[in-house]
Structure 1
C-alpha cells in the first residue's frame, strides 16, 4: 500500500515492529541502519509489501540501484548523481506525511530535506563515501570530506557561508548564526527529528491517533528527554486513549515530573481516568 494511503491505527496495539524499532535505534552507531529505522517508522503508518510489514526490501533495492550509478566517489559526486536521477525537494510536499516516509521518498525521489539527506547518506555509505546528516535548524544538510551538500535544493556543494545565508533566509537576516549548526548529528537524532516532524504534521491535521504513534516511537529513541512523555500523554488523550494517557502521565510523575510538579501531572491523570466512566 502506498505510504500516503494510511490504514487506521490503534496506538495502544502492541507491535513486533515497535520492539524491533527500539532495538534498531539502540544499536551502537556502526551497526545502526538509517534505512531500516526509517522503514520501520513508515511501517507503523502504512503496511508494507514485505512479510514483516515493512518495505525494507524495496527501500534497500532502490538505494542499491542509486548507488550503482555513482561514478565519482565523493559526496559531490553522490549528490550530483542523485540530482540527475531526479532526487530533490518540492515545498508543496511539506504538507504530506509521505514526505517523511522513506519508502515513498525512495520511490518518488521527493521528500523533506531530512529524508533526502538520509537517502544521500545511505547511498554514500554504499559507495564507501564518508557522509553524515547535518541538523541545521530549519533545514537539514549533508556533510562529507569535500564539504556540504543540500539535496533538497539540488546543490551538491555549499560553503559554510552558503549555509549561513540559507539559515538567515529561513530565520531572518538578524538571526544569530552558530558554526556548530553545521556539526554532524547522530542517527538517533535524525530519527527523533523525523518523528517530531511527523507528530507535528499529524497534530496539524488533527489526526491525533497517528500523532500519538509518532510520539510513542520518538520516546523510544535514546537521548529523547523524559518530558516528551507529557507530549505523548496529551496526544493519547486527544486520540481518546484516556487510560493510556493517564498511565503515561502517572509514570512521568513517579519519575519526578521532568520539571513539572508531579502532583499537577497526577491530577491531570485523574481527570483523564474520569473520562472513562
Structure 2
C-alpha cells in the first residue's frame, strides 16, 4: 500500500498566520508616508504650518535643556497615577455590578449619569473642592479612566457564556470557584479593552488637567507655547503625548496576550 499524505488545509482568510516582519515593514512605511505628507503640506505654503525638520530641531533643544524630559515625567506621573487608581477601582466595581443584580441596580445609575458628563466639565468643581495642587489634576484623569474601564468590565461579566457557568455548577463548583475560574478569565479581554480605552481617555484629559495651575507637563508646555504662537513646541508636545500613549498601549497589548493566551485568535 502506498502511504497517503495528508496535508493541512490552507488557512482561511480570517485565520491567516501572522507575519510580524511584514507588519513592522508596513508600520515603517506608514510612518514615512505620514512624514512625507507632512513635509509636502508644510512646503505647500500653508500659513504657519511647521515641518518635521523644524519640529525635530525644537525637540532636540527641549531635550538638551531638560525641559522636555521634566515635562514628560510630570505628565507620565499624573496619567499613570490617575489611570492606575481609576482601573484598580473600576475592576472590582465592574465585577460587583456584573455578578450581583442588587449592586448593579444601586451603582449603575450613578455610573451612567457620570458617563454623560465630560471629565473636563468637572474641572471647575475639582478646583473649588480640592484646590490647585496635584489632587484635582489626578482626579479628573482618574475619573476619565474609571468610567471607561468600569463599563467594559461590567459588560464583560454580563457576556460570560451562561453555558460555561451552568456546566461548572453541574460539576459541583461553588460560586467562588465559578467566579475565579470562569467569570474572571472570560471577562479579562473586556477588562483589557476597557483599560486601553481608559488610557486614551486619561491622555485626552491630561492637557485640560494641566491647565489647573501647573508649572510643568506636556499640556502646560503646549498652552504656554500657544501664547507665543510657538508651533514647533506645540508639535513636540503632541508627538510626545502620542508616542508615550502608544508605548503604554503596546504594553497593555502585551499584557492581553499574556493573560488571554487561551483565546482563539485570528
Bigger fraction of residues in strand:
1
The structure whose Rg is larger is 2
TM-score, L = length of structure 1: 0.28
Bigger fraction of residues in helix:
2
